[in-house]
Chain A
Amino acid sequence: MNAGAKSAPISIRRIVATALPAAAAIAVFGTFYGAGAGKILGASLTIASSLFIFSGALQFALVALVAAGASPLPLLLAAATLNLRHLVLGAVLRPRIGGSRMRRTGSAFFLVDETFGFALAAGNAAERDGQDTQAAAERTLLVAGALCYLAWQLGTIIGVLGATLAPVEGLAGAIFPVLFIGLAALTATRWSHTLRAVAAALLTAGLALAVPDLRTFAPLIAGVLAALPPGDR
């Protein structure tokens, strides 16, 4: 860590340029959410869910449960279990993120898989460049988070209004694996990290195929298991 350095922080323009492809893909999936959820929850609750929850995986799961006639308890349990990953993401990010408790309280709202990755990558880049790593990570979480948040809201509203972005669904679907591969490459700073990443990917595939019900949690389980063995080469 180099939290005490005084170099210029990462620019907002650079953060936006980095996060833009992910935000575009998030907007596309937002339209699918808006179109699907609008018919089940109604327009106002659909838009409110995106405004206040801001979690694609959870929101899609909630709509599926509501459509299946689930009572409030399963919905709350789904929220609790699907959100478990945030605890791990937050714990990983905590030592790398600066700012006061108040600022972290605000930026925590934007903690999703993609913004977690951008924040970590920005911290790593700042460390290489001799800049303030914690400020870079915090600023990136906030700016990339706001961008992805706006994209999710825009997509939801477009979907609720009945418009479709189906022609670019394939391209949007390709952005996420590419993005996560890129983030894995950026954060694999040692050979052991690369080996752990490969092991985690294989473990994820094995878990998802062997226990399909665990598919949502497989990345988290595999990521944690791959990180546990000691040693850093």
Chain B
Amino acid sequence: MSPWLLAAIALITYASRAVALVVLPRPSARVEAVLARMPAPIFASLAMSTLIGDGGALAGGPILWAAAGALLAAPQRSLALCLIGGAAGYALAALLS
């Protein structure tokens, strides 16, 4: 890969980030209502995608236990508690294995 190609890819990447944040006008109320519903589904999808590896295999046991711990803490709607729940799940799996 040449430095010029790297520069072009960096430019594409930055442009993709800046277009919606900087260039595009604020969305209409109707679009904004849809966008407002997106965060939780996107994060839940990202969480699921990190649990599925290449070839459709599930992540290892401790990672699943960590996810389960975070899910148990999720109703509290606290990121810190989710991290603690995840750490507890991971530690429990490490102890049991």
Contact = CB atoms under 8 A, between A and B. Distances in A.
- The answer to whether A binds B is yes
Interface string A48-72: 1100111100100010001000001
A97 B17 CA distance: 14
Contacts of B36: 92, 95
A62 B29 CA distance: 38
Interface stretch (A148-156, A158-166, A190-198): A190-198
- Contact size class for B? 35 or more
A181 B5 contact: no
**Interface centre among B70, B76, B79, by most A CB within 10 Å?**
B79
A222 B9 contact: no
Q: Name B's interface SS.
A: helix
A180 B75 CA distance: 14
Nearest to A107: B21
A18 B81 CA distance: 12
A230 to B, nearest CB: 8
B20 A87 contact: yes
Contact of A90 (B21, B33, B45, B63): B21
Nearest to A193: B40
B96 interface: no
B12 to A, nearest CB: 5
Interface in A201-221: 201-205, 208-209, 212, 215, 218-220
Interface in B14-49: 14, 16-22, 24, 26-27, 31-49
Given A180-B43, A182-B83, A212 B56 contact: yes
B22 A101 contact: yes
Interface residues of A, number: 88
Interface in B51-82: 51-52, 54-56, 59-60, 62-63, 66-67, 69-71, 73-79, 81-82
A31 B17 CA distance: 24
Interface of A: 18, 21, 41, 45, 48-49, 52-55, 58, 62, 66, 72, 75-76, 79-80, 83-84, 86-95, 97, 101, 104-105, 107-109, 111, 113, 117, 120-121, 170-171, 173-188, 192-194, 196-205, 208-209, 212, 215, 218-220, 222-224, 226-228, 230, 232
20 contacts: A53-B10, A90-B19, A92-B35, A95-B36, A111-B17, A111-B21, A170-B60, A174-B63, A181-B67, A181-B74, A182-B82, A186-B78, A192-B37, A201-B48, A204-B44, A219-B48, A220-B42, A226-B45, A227-B34, A228-B34
Given A21-B83, A86-B13, 16 more contacts: A49-B10, A76-B9, A79-B8, A83-B13, A90-B20, A92-B36, A107-B21, A108-B14, A173-B59, A174-B90, A181-B74, A184-B41, A185-B78, A200-B48, A219-B46, A227-B34
Which 8 residue pairs of A and B lie closest in terms of their CB atoms, listed nearest first? Answer: A90-B20, A178-B86, A182-B82, A200-B41, A223-B42, A219-B45, A83-B16, A197-B44
